Structure 1
Amino acid sequence: MFTYKQLEALYWVVKLGTFSAAAQKLFTTQSAVTKRVQQLESIFDVPFFVREGRHKTLSAQGQEIFLIAEELLAHRERLSRDFKHRARTHKKLTLGVTEISAITWLPNLIDHLKNRYPEIHVDAVIGMSGELRQMLAAGKIDAAFMQARSMPNDFQEIPLRYLDLMWVGGKSLNPDHVYHAREIAEMPLIRQSNESALSAIYDAWLLPHKAASNIFTINNLIATASLCMSGIGISCIPQDYFMPMVGTRRLVRLQTSKAAPRILYSAYFRKQVDDDFHTHIAEIAARHCDFSNTMLGAE
């Protein structure tokens, strides 16, 4: 019967191209790798390599066995990873998210985590990206899903998805006019507090101009959209989530001379603290991250 060590030897020889490179990868000697591959050839009674000039290439039988070995090793890795994670799901997992994630894809993510890990206890904290950054640094949350920002080197970042924004206002605005940054800056701007990454994004987009009139609201996207509908001012809000309100003409989307801002959302967690587990959570989050919401299409 073959062993996983023998399969790993064949796999890395093929992947890396030489027995010496495979030996370095497996932290063993070249002779040990050669012996394992030869043992595997003996078990299956087929040569894995054929010589072509000065080089050796996989034989047809060797290619077939390599593909099976690759699949078996992948299954072993998946089995080991999943059961390792499930063994740790008695722990409490506290996630930090911004408002747009909380009202769109967070419920689906939590449902998936509970189905995947029945014993897991998930808590969610909703806040501005600046607040989440501070909580993550203080160890008050295990992972944060927020706008990409500069973090200390001891934190891992895994990109999730881009959030596209759009400039909107009330019905009195002309949807066919192309607005320049100067014109946008001259309108009353409805914005969130400085703890929100959106404020910095507005200012960067308007450069070299500055907003002439800032109307600060509560840190709530729905309230921001409602104030825009009333004609009090304009704002730049998540496109996919609020597009149904544009479709029903409750909001007017402003065409602009340069593309509206977009924000990269990423998962953050501290390195060397359950790295595999949190990386797996981030991978699941990336699959569920979706900033759209069809519920706003209804009157």
Structure 2
Amino acid sequence: MINVKSLEVFYWTARLSSFSRAAEKLNSTQPTISQRISALEDQFGRQFINRSTKPISLTPDGQLLLQHAELILRQIARLEKDLDAPQRMHQSIRLGVSETIVHTWLSRFLETSHQRYPNIDFEITVDITPSMMNALHDGELDLAFMLGSGEVEGMACYHLINYPLHFYAAPGLVPQNRLGMEQLNHLPILTYPRNAYPYSQLRELLFRQINTHPRIFTNSSLSTIERMAIDRIGVALVAQGAFSPSLERKMLVALESDIDLPPMRFFAFHLLGVGADVLEDLSRIAVKVATAAALSSF
């Protein structure tokens, strides 16, 4: 008799091309993953995984088993959905989130998701997009809300929201609250990390305009950027809505500027494949919540 859990272990090991990544995805250990696959191979008297290659690869028998395993696991997932099992099932979702979303509508997403899936727990990681994309590919995250371009091979993608970029500063720092190129000769811009949007485009634009190395102070923490702006260290360039409480308390003011950059485009991403039904539902919830947030903010 074939064990369904063993088929799931084999499926994700094959999809992620790694015992360790499959262990992370399934909240297990690498020895346990290896033992289950070895037991499958012993049961059928066939080798399914070529362990001598890096990354590991499937043998012809492994390719055949993968086709059958996916069909079986998808049918089980469909049965569970028809019986509304996900609502009663207790599970943990590893969610990666850009900090901009943390400061805007993440709490509303969690509240709405709890109404639909009361037994889901979220393990939340706040990080930058490149790190989260790697974590998704490696099976270390199940779902991520982050910047994107719309299409990533092997991933489901849902457009969430576009946030315009705005300049913010402490009151009185910029004359008449209008930021021109002349101010940028002595005021640094405080913004997101070098490997995240909008650093590269901002740097190129400023370099062409002021003909010298632009002063850009980067930081991965929006809270730190906000504190530095309040302390008059420079002018912050962040997504609209990220500093709403400080604007309401008049600790920061929004600036007018001719410096124009494309908006930050946020998407929900998750791996395609077996077991993605709940992730699809959560992504659609995120779309609705983000849309409502956009209507109330812009």
Q: Structure 1-normalised TM-score?
A: 0.61
**Correspondence 1:156 to 2:156:** yes
Give unmatched runs, 5+ long, in structure 2. Answer: 1-79
Identity rate, percent: 19
Q: CA RMSD, aligned part only?
A: 3.3
Instruction: Map Cα deviations across residues 202-242 of structure 1 (whole Å, 9 max, x no partner).
Output: 3355463465223344x211221121122111120222232
Equivalent position amino acid for 1:212 in 2: P
After TM superposition, the structure 1 = structure 2 runs for residues 256-267 of structure 1, keeping only pairs within 5 Å, are 256-259=257-260, 261-267=262-268
- Residues paired across the two proteins, number: 215
1:177 Cα deviation after fit: 5.6
Q: Taking structure 1 as reference, are residues 150 and 282 closer, same or farther at Cα in structure 2, changes over 3 Å only?
A: closer
Q: Taking structure 1 as reference, are residues 262 and 184 closer, same or farther at Cα in structure 2, changes over 3 Å only?
A: farther
Q: Taking structure 1 as reference, are residues 260 and 198 closer, same or farther at Cα in structure 2, changes over 3 Å only?
A: closer
Structure 2 partner of 1:202:
202
Contact 2:206 2:214 (8 Å CA) reproduced: no
Structure 1 partner of 2:224:
223
Q: Taking structure 1 as reference, are residues 265 and 165 closer, same or farther at Cα in structure 2, changes over 3 Å only?
A: same
Structure 2 partner of 1:122:
122
SS state at 2:208 partner: coil
1:184 Cα deviation after fit: 3.8
SS state at 1:225 partner: helix
Contact 2:103 2:242 (8 Å CA) reproduced: no
Instruction: Map Cα deviations across residues 35-59 of structure 1 (whole Å, 9 max, x no partner).
Output: xxxxxxxxxxxxxxxxxxxxxxxxx
Contact 1:96 1:132 (8 Å CA) reproduced: yes
Asked which structure has the greater CA Rg, the reply is: 1
SS state at 2:251 partner: coil
Distance, in Å, in 1 between the alignment partners of 2:180 and 2:104 is 31
Give unmatched runs, 5+ long, in structure 1. Answer: 1-79, 295-299
Distance, in Å, in 2 between the alignment partners of 1:221 and 1:262 is 17
Structure 1 partner of 2:96:
96
Contact 1:201 1:261 (8 Å CA) reproduced: no
Contact 1:104 1:291 (8 Å CA) reproduced: no
**Correspondence 1:280 to 2:281:** yes
User: Which stretch shows the higher mean deviation, 126-135 or 169-178?
Assistant: 169-178
Structure 2 partner of 1:251:
252
Contact 2:149 2:265 (8 Å CA) reproduced: no
Structure 2 partner of 1:193:
193
Structure 2 partner of 1:213:
215
After TM superposition, the structure 1 = structure 2 runs for residues 1-299 of structure 1, keeping only pairs within 5 Å, are 83-84=83-84, 86=86, 89-149=89-149, 152-174=152-174, 176=176, 178-181=178-181, 183-184=183-184, 187-203=187-203, 206=206, 208-209=208-209, 212-217=214-219, 219-259=220-260, 261-289=262-290, 290=293
Q: Structure 2-normalised TM-score?
A: 0.61
Contact 2:150 2:159 (8 Å CA) reproduced: no
User: Which stretch shows the higher mean deviation, 257-266 or 92-101?
Assistant: 257-266
